[in-house]
Amino acid sequence: MRILVLGGDGYLGWPTAMYLSARGHDVGVVDSGVRRQYDHELGSGSLVPIEALRTRVKTWREITGCEIPAYTGDLCDAEFVYDTFRAFRPDAVVHFAEQRAAPYSMIDRQHAVYTQTNNVVGTLNVMYAIGEIDRDIHIVKLGTMGEYGQPNIDIEEGWLEVEHKGRKDRVLYPKKPGSFYHLSKVHDSHNLEFGCRIWDLRVTDLNQGVVYGQETEQTALDPRLATRLDYDAVFGTVINRFAIQAVLGIPLSIYGGGTQTRAVLDIRDTVECIRLACENPADRGEFRVFNQATEQFSLQEMAKTVQNSFPGQVDIEYVDNPRVEAENHYYNFTHTALESLGLKPHLLSDTLLHHMFDVIEAHRDRVDLDLLKPTVNWRHSHRAGT
Ligand code: NAD
Ligand code: USQ
């Protein structure tokens, strides 16, 4: 298949592009490079050094003989999107290219507006380009488990059968997200479902959980193919941060009481889920939703797993929760669709954590400890001091 990976320079997009290429697909990547600009803005950076996109692509060609053409541009520029889709002629478009950090979206008004504009407008441009160029192109869109929030009933895969006053209907599962970033994904989901109804688009919305890990079979081939690993309190995600804190010998930072439960998955399962979604496309007019996560844990359980896996002393610290989020809540999500297509999940208990500790150890000198502390507070609508 011809598969265009939007956001192909990111944490997940780059390993996915290589994985699909290694599986024999003709892959192209699109990215504006804006993720690297957030690093400049925040004074942060990947713990593992990463190469420029052109070096990554060149290295992949040298090692495998496979081309991955790279298109540099912004999805909010509609002309760029149309030109790129016309030039590449994809069968599937995998859309990772959004601002993805909840804390970044909660810094202040400007960052909330930027996040929702970037994400919602980019997705609309993708939908319109496909609507006008070729409606058979399958959109594989990265959504998030956080769209659902923490409902007091089981989480289904996107849709819910309801009975109300004696009548029945199938409705989009109710959403109660916890940041302006997560809300942008809800807006995308609604726009995409509408696109399926009016233009018969084919869409798979992948409600992905929190990803952990840094290495895939392809990133491990050469240091120049490495993907990023974020540790700062804005872009670093919880299990990755816990692993880094363990190696640095500083306490694992549990926000609040730690009873919050999240759905998670290994980065090696992310790339496989994308392959499965692309190779088994949604039907014309179908808005298909998969819950792309394999296990659920409370934050306390995640911290304990990291503590038990690490070969040295690890302490845990409970810090005032900078976010507004439910604690002591019910959580039970369905995740059978991808497994029925053939996904064999990697589990956190027997994971690459040990190997991750080695990777982190090798680059521990690059950590700026100040960036580990949370500075964005959900209760403030502006930055401290402004
Ligand atoms: P990332 O920030 O590392 O990668 C996203 C890439 O998209 C970046 O390289 C960025 O430069 C690019 N991008 C952003 N806006 C763009 C635009 N308007 N035009 C062109 N390029 C643009 O993020 P990631 O962790 O790889 O996440 C990828 C996707 O998966 C996101 O949509 C995210 O919401 C979703 N997701 C991530 C996780 C996770 O734990 N990392 C979990 C669930 C869902
Ligand atoms: N948390 C801690 N300590 C930390 C960091 C986070 O306790 O040091 C807690 C948070 O309070 C939250 C949970 O861990 O309860 C998850 O936080 P996170 O930053 O790891 O993940 P989140 O903000 O939800 O966002 C990440 C990705 C996002 C993706 C989402 C999937 O950045 O792109 O959409 O995970 S999900 O959570 O399923 O919506």
pLDDT in tens, 8-20: 999 999 999 999 9
Tell me, what's the pLDDT at 214?
95
Within 13 Å of residue 247, how many CA atoms lie on the same side as its CB?
Answer: 23
Active site (annotated) includes residue 58: no
Q: How many CA atoms lie within 13 A of 141 on its CB side?
A: 33
Residue 255 lies in a domain: yes
Q: What confidence score (pLDDT) does residue 157 get?
A: 98
Query: DSSP 3-state assignment of 77?
Result: coil
- For a ligand 1 pocket test, name from 4, 5, 6, 12 the mutation site with the most ligand atoms within 8 angstroms of its C-beta: 12
Q: Is the pLDDT of residue 180 over 70?
A: yes
Residue 32 belongs to a domain: yes
pTM (two decimals)? 0.98
Q: Are 307 and 252 spatial neighbours (Cβ–Cβ below 8 Å)? A: yes
Considering the domain boundaries, does residue 315 fall inside one?
A: yes
The secondary structure element, H or E, covering residue 66 is none
Please tell me the chain's helix, strand, coil percentages from 3-state DSSP, rounded to the nearest 5: 40, 20, 40
The average pLDDT across 290-314 equals: 97
CA distances from residue 55 to 52, 58, 62, 280 in whole angstroms, order as listed? 5, 5, 10, 32
Can you give the pLDDT at residue 386? 53
- Specify the residue with its C-alpha closest to ligand 2, atom 19: 237
Model confidence band, residue 174 (pLDDT cutoffs 50, 70, 90): very high
What range does the domain containing 145 cover? 2-372
Per-residue pLDDT for 351 more than 90? no
**Measured distance CA(143)–CA(130) in Å, rounded:** 19
Average pLDDT of the residues in 285-298: 98
| CA–CA separation, 75 and 98 (whole Å) | 9
> What is each CA distance from 143 to 14, 120, 166, 213, 263, in whole angstroms?
18, 12, 33, 19, 13
Pick the range with the lowest mean pLDDT from 117-126, 339-348, 352-361.
Answer: 352-361
185 as an active site residue: the answer is: yes
Residue labelled with tokens 């495998």: 64
Question: What is the reported pLDDT for 350?
Answer: 72
User: What distance in angstroms lies between residue 211's CA and the mean position of ligand 2's atoms?
Assistant: 9
CA distance 62 to 175: 46
Cα–Cα nearest to 249, from 355, 351, 364, 356? 364
3-state secondary structure of 319: strand
Rounded CA gap, 122 and 98, in Å?
8
> Does residue 164 belong to any structural domain of this protein?
yes
Q: Would you call 181 a catalytic residue per the annotation?
A: yes
Both structure tokens of 14: 């780059």
Q: Which residues line ligand 1 (CB under 6 A)?
A: 7, 9-13, 31-35, 74-76, 96-100, 118, 122, 142, 144, 208, 210-211, 237
Average of pLDDT values for 31-54?
A: 98
Domain assignment present for residue 277? The answer is: yes
3-class DSSP state for residue 169?
strand
Mean pLDDT calculated for residue range 183-191? 98
Task: State how far the Cα of 210 lies from the Cα of 238, in Å rounded to an integer.
Answer: 8
pLDDT of residue 354: 79
**Domain assignment present for 384:** no
- Give the C-alpha separation, 143 to 205, whole Å: 6
Residue having the nearest C-alpha atom to atom 18 of ligand 2 = 237
Residue 382 forms part of a structural domain: no
pLDDT single digits (tens) 228-249: 999 999 999 999 999 999 999 9
Distance of CA 382 to the CA centre of its chain: 26
Q: Residue 384 pLDDT > 80, yes or no?
A: no
What dihedral do alpha carbons 30, 31, 32, 36 form, nearest 10°? -170
From 6, 98, 187, 240, give the residue whose CB has the most ligand 1 atoms within 8 Å, as the site to mutate: 98
Higher pLDDT, 353 or 132: 132
Q: Which residues, listed in sequence order, are joined to residue 254 by a DSSP beta bridge? A: 318
Query: Per-residue pLDDT for 355 more than 90?
Result: no
Tell me how many domains the chain contains: 1
Cα separation, 259 vs 90, in Å, equals 43
d(CA 271, CA 21): 11
CB atoms within 10 A of CB 116: 18
Q: Tell whether 210 is covered by a domain.
A: yes
CATH number at residue 222: 3.40.50.720
Structure confidence at residue 353 as a pLDDT band (50, 70, 90): confident
Among 89, 197, 185, CA closest to 142: 185
Q: Is the pLDDT of residue 385 over 70?
A: no
DSSP 19: H
Q: Is the pLDDT of residue 312 over 80?
A: yes
Contact 181, 117 (CB under 8 A): no
Q: How confident is the model at residue 76 (pLDDT cuts 50, 70, 90)?
A: very high
pLDDT of 28 strictly over 90: yes
Residues in the chain: 386
- Rounded to a whole number of angstroms, the CA Rg of the chain reads 20
pLDDT at 352: 65
Residues 6+ apart with CB under 8 A from 368: 43, 44, 232
